[in-house]
Amino acid sequence: MFTLRNTALIVALAIPVATTASQKFPSQYSSLGIEAGYVDSGNSDNKSGATDDLKNYGEFGLNFTHQFNPRVSMLVQASYSEPETRNFDQDLDILRGSVGARFHPSLYRLGSWRPFAGIGYSHADIDLESYGSKGEDMLYGEAGLQRMIAPRFIAEAGLRGRVEIEDQFVDAQAFVGLHYVFGREFPAAPVNRQPLDFSTLSAPLADSDGDGVPDQQDKCPDTPHGALVDEDGCAQELTREIKETLYVEFQHDKTEVRRSFYPKIEDLATTLKQYPTSRILLEGHTDSTGPSSYNQKLSKSRADAVMKVLIDHFGINADRIRTTGMGESQPIASNETEEGRAQNRRVEAIVSGEHTEILKKTGK
C-alpha cells in the first residue's frame, strides 16, 4: 500500500541521487510538485479538544508555485493527513489548503542550494467521526533550501512552523519536495561595456573580429560576425529543446515501409543530421485485428522496419535510434471502421534533444 511514509522516503532518496549536476534557476517559471512532511504536534499536550490533542503524523501535499522574479515566488498547496489523537485513540482526516509567499536571496547560495523564507495562511478541515468536523485557521512561517537537479526539476527541503489563530498553539513540520518546472524564462545575457575614451588614445584600438571588443581585451578573437558577445568578446549561447514527431502508416498485417513515406522519413533524417546530439524513439502500433500477443510483435517489427530505412537509406547511426512495440494499446482512431484501423497501423517517431546556438545581435 502506498503510504505517506513511502512517499517521504521516495522524495528524500530522489534528491541526493539526482543532484549530480548543478543547474541555473530560471528568472521566471511555474512548477507542479509533491511534498512529504512530518508534523511534530508535541505542543498539543495541553490541548483540550478531541481534534486538537494529536500524535505526531505524516502529511502529503500537492504544490503549485510561480516564480515572479528571481526574488519572489508564491506557493499554493493542498495537503492531506490521517493523524491519531493522543487520549481518545481515534483517527482523524485533515484536508488542508495553504497559500503563501516565498522570498529568495538573488545571489546568496549554500553550495548549489538556494535559500528561501516564506510566510502564509492555512485553513484545515478536520473530520473526526465521533465528534463531527471543525475548521482551523493558521498562520505559518517557513525556511528551506532549493536546488535545480535537472533542467526541469527542483528539489527542496525545509522547516515550517504553524500557529493556530484562535487557540494559539504551535505545530512544527519538516518537509521535502520535488517539483516539475514549466514556463521557464531566463535572463538576457548581460552586456556591460564601458565606452572608449578616444581622447586619451594616440591611435584606435584594433578589433580583428569586429565584435566591438578590442583585441587586447578579447578572450575569443574568432567570434562569428554578428554574434552577441559579452564584455570578454565571447559569443553568448542559447540552449533550446528539439522535438519533432512523424507518423508512418502500414497496410494490414504488413511491416514494409511504403515509398510514399520516404520523403517524410528523409526530412526526419535531415533534422537528426542537423542536431547530432539528438536521439529518436520509434513506437510501433497496430489495429485491434488479431491476437494481442501477435500484434505486440507486429508493432515492434514495424518500428524496426522504419529504423532500417533510416540506417540504410539516410545514413543515421543505429546508436541514436530506439524502437518499441505498443501493440494495439494506443489507438488514435476507431477500430470499428477500415479508415480508423488504417490510421492505427502506424509508427510514431519522436526526435528529442537539446541544441546550443549562438545569439545574434538585433538587426544583424
User: How far is 12 from 16, CA to CA, in rounded Å?
Assistant: 8
Identity of residue 268: L
Predicted confidence band of residue 344 (pLDDT cuts 50, 70, 90): confident
Percent of the chain scored above 90 by pLDDT? 33
Q: Do the beta carbons of residue 63 and residue 77 sit within 8 Å? A: yes
Q: Do the beta carbons of residue 154 and residue 148 sit within 8 Å? A: yes
Res 18 pLDDT > 70: no
User: How far is 139 from 123, CA to CA, in rounded Å?
Assistant: 9
Q: Which set of grid coordinates corresponds to residue 36?
A: 512529504
For residues 18 and 131, the model is more confident at: 131
Percent of the chain scored above 70 by pLDDT? 76
| Average pLDDT, integer, range 100-108 | 87
Predicted confidence band of residue 215 (pLDDT cuts 50, 70, 90): confident
Predicted confidence band of residue 88 (pLDDT cuts 50, 70, 90): low
* Distance, CA of 211 to chain centre: 36
pTM passes above 0.75: no
Res 211 pLDDT > 50: yes
Res 250 pLDDT > 60: yes
Q: Name the least confident of 49-58, 206-215, 310-319, 352-361.
A: 352-361
Q: Which set of grid coordinates corresponds to residue 290?
A: 488479431
For residues 52 and 5, the model is more confident at: 52
Q: Which of 124, 199, 126, 154 is nearest to 64 (CA)?
A: 154
* Distance, CA of 91 to chain centre: 36
pLDDT at 16: 47
Cα dist from 336 to 38, 83, 331, whole Å: 52, 51, 11
User: How far is 321 from 296, CA to CA, in rounded Å?
Assistant: 19
Res 1 pLDDT > 60: no
For residues 145 and 169, the model is more confident at: 145
Identity of residue 179: H
Predicted confidence band of residue 43 (pLDDT cuts 50, 70, 90): low
Q: What is the per-residue burial (b if ≥16 Cβ within 10 Å, else e) of 204-243?
A: eeebebebebeeeebebeebeeebbbbeebbbbeeeeebe
Q: Do the beta carbons of residue 52 and residue 174 sit within 8 Å? A: no
Residues written for the chain: 364
Res 199 pLDDT > 70: no
Res 129 pLDDT > 60: yes
- 65-76 per-position pLDDT tens digit: 999 998 999 999
| Average pLDDT, integer, range 178-206 | 71
- 112-121 per-position pLDDT tens digit: 899 999 999 9
| Average pLDDT, integer, range 318-326 | 90
